[in-house]
Amino acid sequence: MKKFIQEKHQEAALDDLKTILAYPSYLQEDDETPFGKDIQAVLEKTLEISEKLGFKTYIDPEGYYGYAEMGEGEELFAVLCHLDVVPPGNLKLWDSKPFEPTIKDGFIIARGSQDDKGPTIAAMYALKAVMDGGETLNKRVRFIFGVDEENLWRCLNRYNELEEKATMGFAPDSTFPVTYAEKGLLQIKLHSKETSSYRLEAGDAMNVVPEDATYEGQWVDDLESELKKNDYSYERHEQSITVKGKSVHSKNSPQGINAIVRLANVLTTKDDNKALLFLRDYVKEDARGLNIFGEVEDEASGILTCNAATLSINPEETILGIDIRYPVTVEKSFIGDKLKAAAEKAGLIYEEYDFIAPLYVPLDTPLVENLMAVYQKKTGDMQPPIVSGGATFARTMENCVAFGAQLPHAEATLHGPNERMALEDLYQAMDIYAEALYRLTCQ
Ligand SMILES: [Zn+2]
């Protein structure tokens, strides 16, 4: 194997990384730009850095995305990155300022260091180093910079409407080794227009198994005795009662305990709200949704998961939010039809809220085989490729996978306080990306 990355690449990469980490590029309301002026600025700055490295660049006139390209040829190889970040959260939990990149104990600390500015710069400098090594590209390599990844993916959706799609590529926005399968994501809202004597709001987000669900109203004592009978955890307050569950990410919902379903199981002894009955009789305490979908599982990506994530009951309307992650070889229409049929039987109206198609690139394709071989040679780590219920930009194009840059020993600090990446890991990722890009786009 060649050694492409030299000290000068590491130093320059770190400098440029610090530059782009200094932009607080989280989503903000703005009249002139789609996602806020800081996002616009980091996009422009990254394209400026790209030009310095020898890329040709393009920015969407409206500011939804930009890209940087090198090489000649018919085929287009994509590196799918994002420059937006999540907000810093509680500043008191940070030991340094989230947008003043700090080097300490061998780490670079700043919001975006792990997700996704560090990996982005690592991949850009990897290609620069391969070019400095005198290699010639046999296809075009395009770094596509999205800026709405942490929210609604409007950047890449627009890119796909207007621009050329890649024939192959990877997203440096996950963990090593290769994520070759990501389950399909379908989020549904079930509605019913019925009158209710009370208000109830439970569940914070569609991608989380609800930790608690609180009822306030006339049946608190009755519910308490039902909860006892079922041996469910709860907290009793004067006017209300809170059913306790266990919160996990929706993609791992079989490992959680759904407080909304448990509340429905006891509240239906008093109330015949259609959504509550649906939860009790169809969803049940079963995060695989067996009663609605039957046994849904495939060899490539495992089981379907079904999470009743949010419930809103008010005097005029009830809305139940359901998050489903389904195996990669299953059709979306199969899942949608089953849920729709069950919902209609229960008297509920079905509305699609969000959908992201699954990702699946078979293990025996040159893309996955090459990336796995490079990773294994460079690290000696022989763990198998990954199947995930999460979502990366790799899903936005055919024949793309997620690849790094988080190494298995690294702590996942993305989205949390003191987000950081070890410099050693940054340089190792550069080294892996350089060899991968060399194999896939030069030879
Ligand atoms: Zn990310």
What percent of the chain is predicted at pLDDT more than 90? 89
pLDDT at site 2: 79
User: Is a pLDDT exceeding 90 seen at residue 104?
Assistant: yes
Phi-psi label, residue 199: left if phi above 0, alpha if psi -120 to 50, beta otherwise? beta
* Band of pLDDT at residue 195, cut at 50, 70 and 90: confident
| Residue 349 in domain | yes
Distance 268 CA to ligand 1 centre (A): 41
Distance 61 CA to ligand 1 centre (A): 24
Distance 395 CA to ligand 1 centre (A): 13
d(CA 400, CA 2): 25
What percent of the chain is predicted at pLDDT more than 70? 100
Q: What is the pLDDT of residues 45-85, one digit of tens each?
A: 999 999 999 999 999 999 999 999 999 999 999 999 999 99
Neighbours of 132 (CB within 10 A): 16
Distance 292 CA to ligand 1 centre (A): 32
pLDDT at site 247: 87
Same domain, 309 and 385: no
Distance 319 CA to ligand 1 centre (A): 30
d(CA 220, CA 215): 7
User: Is a pLDDT exceeding 90 seen at residue 44?
Assistant: yes
Same domain, 411 and 270: no
Q: Which of 356, 390, 415 is the last residue of a domain?
A: 356
Phi, psi of 237 (to 5 degrees): -120, 180
Q: What is the pLDDT of residues 212-229, one digit of tens each?
A: 999 999 999 999 999 999
pLDDT at site 421: 98
d(CA 396, CA 392): 8
User: What is the dihedral sign for C-alpha 138, 144, 149, 154?
Assistant: negative
| Mean of pLDDT values over 349-358 | 92
| Mean of pLDDT values over 419-434 | 98
pLDDT at site 328: 93
Same domain, 394 and 437: yes
pLDDT at site 152: 85
What is the number of structural domains in the chain?
2
CATH number for 190:
3.30.70.360
Same domain, 101 and 207: no
pLDDT at site 207: 83
Distance 81 CA to ligand 1 centre (A): 8
Same domain, 341 and 417: no
pLDDT at site 1: 74
Selecting among 16, 38, 60, 84, the annotated active-site residue is: 84
Same domain, 308 and 414: no
Answer for the pair 139, 75: CB distance below 8 angstroms, yes or no: yes
Distance 82 CA to ligand 1 centre (A): 7
User: Is a pLDDT exceeding 80 seen at residue 88?
Assistant: yes
Distance 239 CA to ligand 1 centre (A): 42
| Mean of pLDDT values over 275-294 | 97
Same domain, 391 and 335: no
Same domain, 67 and 158: yes
Answer for the pair 181, 297: CB distance below 8 angstroms, yes or no: no
Q: Which of 339, 356, 373 is the last residue of a domain?
A: 356
pLDDT, mean over the chain: 95
Same domain, 77 and 101: yes
Residue 170 to residues 22, 91, 198, 281, 389, Cα–Cα distance (Å):
26, 33, 50, 42, 17
Selecting among 149, 150, 211, 435, the annotated active-site residue is: 149
d(CA 392, CA 174): 8
Same domain, 352 and 364: no
d(CA 356, CA 332): 10
User: Is a pLDDT exceeding 80 seen at residue 276?
Assistant: yes
b/e sequence 319-340, b meaning 16+ C-beta within 10 Å: bbbbbbbbbbebebeebbebbb
Catalytic residue flag (residue 84): yes
Q: Which two tokens stand for residue 180?
A: 């070759």
Same domain, 169 and 189: no
Give the structural domain span for 46: 7-183+359-441
Distance 171 CA to ligand 1 centre (A): 9
* Band of pLDDT at residue 90, cut at 50, 70 and 90: confident
Distance 407 CA to ligand 1 centre (A): 15
Q: Which of 306, 327, 356 is the last residue of a domain?
A: 356
pLDDT at site 5: 97
| Mean of pLDDT values over 94-122 | 97
